[in-house]
């Protein structure tokens, strides 16, 4: 069997230098300070790691929690920060905003990546490299029947039609969410009496070619695409979920996704401002409750 490609080391995961490589483990116990058998002396000391900053997000290890909520819109970071206490905001770099604070007794980081799988993967990978090991994307999506606008959709799995996942995994193009996150999100949504669905996502790179038509020449393409996905029991379409699940798994992390349905692409319907604000409040409330119930990887 060909050897899996090497993935850069992570501060908090001694066992995941090479995804799927059972020989990649500490030489003597999970808490050992001795080097891995697979990577020798590749790891940095803890003091060096704490002083090291991630290339793009500009955070250091001590500024990042083990549990992370990944956001698309950077405007959600200050809004969602209001749910946390003792908030530390890191300098914004290239539009990438990150804060860390406390929710009840749990330390949580909020980090915004913008739009699309490539940058979402960069942010996840850097945070993982600094020690984070639980990642939950929350945001918006295009809902497919039977999902209605305003409903919550929790990803059980995702079909990849984007290009980023192939850099981390080779196979069927179908990635699964961490079952602990799926269970915790479902329970939290039920407790808050939020209308929710659990099922498959599909993620694309070409928003105006595959997800939402702006002009007549692409109407048939988008309609056929979404109808085909609905026939395959896909509930939601976005640009990042499949990559987040794939990259998270490749790095030995727990990864999940939950989105509010804010657009019906076929009917050209979009959620109203008041309903959008309500959906955001539901997203962050469910996400925070769920993350407190999931242990780090």
Question: What are the per-10-residue average pLDDT scores of the chain (297 residues)?
Answer: 38 37 36 33 42 87 98 97 97 95 98 97 98 98 96 98 92 89 99 98 97 92 96 98 98 98 90 96 98 96
pLDDT at 230: 96
Tokens 């500490």, residue located: 26
> Which among 16, 136, 155 is positioned nearest to 67, based on CA atoms?
136
Which overall architecture, per CATH, does domain 53-291 show? 3-Layer(aba) Sandwich (3.40)
Query: pTM (2 decimals)?
Result: 0.84
C-alpha Rg value of the chain to the nearest Å: 19
pLDDT at 33: 33
The domain spans of the chain are 53-291
Check: CB of residue 109 under 8 Å from CB of residue 127.
Answer: yes
For residues 248 and 257, what is the distance between their CA atoms, to the nearest angstrom? 11
> Which among 70, 47, 197 is positioned nearest to 125, based on CA atoms?
70
- From residue 55, alpha-carbon distances to 64, 155, 156, 236 in Å are 14, 29, 31, 32
> Which among 292, 226, 290 is positioned nearest to 261, based on CA atoms?
226
pLDDT at 115: 96
């Amino acid at each position: 069997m060909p050897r899996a490609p090497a993935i850069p080391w992570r501060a908090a995961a001694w066992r995941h230098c090479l995804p799927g490589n059972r020989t990649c483990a500490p030489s003597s116990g999970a808490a050992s300070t001795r080097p891995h058998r697979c990577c020798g002396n590749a790891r940095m000391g803890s003091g060096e790691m704490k002083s090291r900053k991630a290339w793009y997000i500009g955070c250091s290890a001590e500024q990042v929690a083990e549990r992370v909520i990944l956001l698309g819109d950077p405007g959600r970071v200050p809004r969602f920060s209001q749910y946390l206490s003792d908030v530390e905001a890191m300098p914004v770099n290239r539009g990438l905003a990150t804060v860390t604070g406390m929710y009840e007794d749990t330390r949580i980081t909020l980090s915004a990546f913008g739009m699309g799988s490539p940058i979402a993967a960069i942010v996840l990978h850097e945070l993982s490299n600094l020690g984070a090991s639980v990642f939950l994307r929350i945001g918006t999506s295009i809902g497919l029947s039977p999902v209605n606008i305003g409903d919550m959709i929790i990803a059980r799995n995702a079909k990849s039609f984007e290009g980023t996942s192939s850099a981390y995994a080779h196979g069927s193009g179908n990635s699964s969410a961490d079952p602990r996150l799926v269970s915790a999100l479902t329970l939290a949504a039920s407790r808050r009496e939020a209308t929710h669905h659990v099922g498959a996502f599909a993620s694309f790179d070409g928003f105006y070619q595959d997800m939402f038509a702006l002009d007549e020449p692409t109407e048939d393409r988008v309609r056929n695409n979404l109808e085909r996905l609905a026939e395959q029991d896909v509930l939601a379409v976005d640009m990042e979920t499949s990559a987040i699940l794939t990259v998270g798994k490749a790095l030995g992390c727990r990864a999940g996704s939950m989105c509010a349905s804010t657009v019906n692409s076929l009917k050209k319907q979009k959620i109203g401002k008041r309903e959008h604000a309500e959906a955001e409040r539901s997203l962050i409330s469910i996400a925070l409750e769920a993350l407190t119930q999931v242990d780090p990887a």
